[in-house]
A and B are shown apart, each in its own frame.
Chain A
Amino acid sequence: AQKVTQAQTEISVVEKEDVTLDCVYETRDTTYYLFWYKQPPSGELVFLIRRNSFDEQNEISGRYSWNFQKSTSSFNFTITASQVVDSAVYFCALSDLTGANNLFFGTGTRLTVIP
């Protein structure tokens, strides 16, 4: 069965520190997709990144970077030089086995950036 584990329930960092959010997944699919979504205090869900299981290249977008390692079934998310606006709940998600676009979400990590 699909499973996504975000072991860090809450993290607090001081502004400008780097922080890594961990995501470990389980699937028996050979083709799958991994996602990260951000949920700021306003409550909406904002798409951050999608990664195909065949593409293990790391990705960087500004202060955000993602490290995908199939060998350890991990898809970790690093924020460099954190800012107060990064305070949010971050969800890692995995495509499920139905073939539709359903996602199986982790329980989320609440990040608080202290000014």
Chain B
Amino acid sequence: NAGVTQTPKFQVLKTGQSMTLQCAQDMNHEYMSWYRQDPGMGLRLIHYSVGAGITDQGEVPNGYNVSRSTTEDFPLRLLSAAPSQTSVYFCASSRVSDGEKLFFGSGTQLSVL
């Protein structure tokens, strides 16, 4: 069972570069989301989606774009990378019903120089 797959695992960018973090799940989950994890701050929600064609902003959406064209995929785009976006990024998915537990990917460690 693949679960939630994130690629790449590591990435180094220069300030101003753009890139896409990939996330795919094979559990037919309607809900998908992106979190970032920074030291001493826990995980914070960037964007989320409750189904194909539906996305919404979380707590820290600035500088990031998402789209959801299929149930399986939920890519996160960094439009113009900044050092403040250096972080570990986690994708998560679940069924859409109250209180469902989230299944997390293994994370992407991103450094912006």
Binding site for B on A (CB under 8 A): 4, 9, 31, 33, 35, 37, 43-45, 47, 50, 52, 91, 93, 95-96, 98, 100-108
Nearest residue in A to B103 (C-beta to C-beta)?
A: A47
Q: Which residues of A contact B40 (CB under 8 A)?
A: 9, 107
Given A91-B43, A108-B42, also A33-B107 (CB < 8 A): no
Instruction: Enumerate B67-113 residues with CB–CB distance to A below 8 Å.
Output: 88, 90, 92, 94, 96, 98-104, 106-107
Binding site for A on B (CB under 8 A): 31, 33, 35, 40-45, 48, 50, 56, 58, 88, 90, 92, 94, 96, 98-104, 106-107
B76 CB, min distance to chain A CBs, angstroms = 15
Asked whether, in the complex, the Cβ of B50 is within 8 Å of the Cβ of A45, the reply is no
Nearest residue in B to A51 (C-beta to C-beta)?
A: B99
Give the complex CA separation of A50 and B107 in angstroms. 22
Asked whether, in the complex, the Cβ of B31 is within 8 Å of the Cβ of A100, the reply is yes
Asked whether, in the complex, the Cβ of A44 is within 8 Å of the Cβ of B101, the reply is no
Nearest residue in B to A108 (C-beta to C-beta)?
A: B42
Give the complex CA separation of A91 and B101 in angstroms. 14
Nearest residue in B to A43 (C-beta to C-beta)?
A: B107
Q: Which residues of A contact B42 (CB under 8 A)?
A: 4, 91, 105-108
Indicate the member of A9, A37, A44, A45 with the most B CB atoms within 10 Å. Answer: A45
Give the complex CA separation of A102 and B106 in angstroms. 18
Asked whether, in the complex, the Cβ of A50 is within 8 Å of the Cβ of B45, the reply is no
Asked whether, in the complex, the Cβ of A45 is within 8 Å of the Cβ of B90, the reply is yes
Asked whether, in the complex, the Cβ of B31 is within 8 Å of the Cβ of A101, the reply is yes
Q: Which residues of B contact A52 (CB under 8 A)?
A: 99
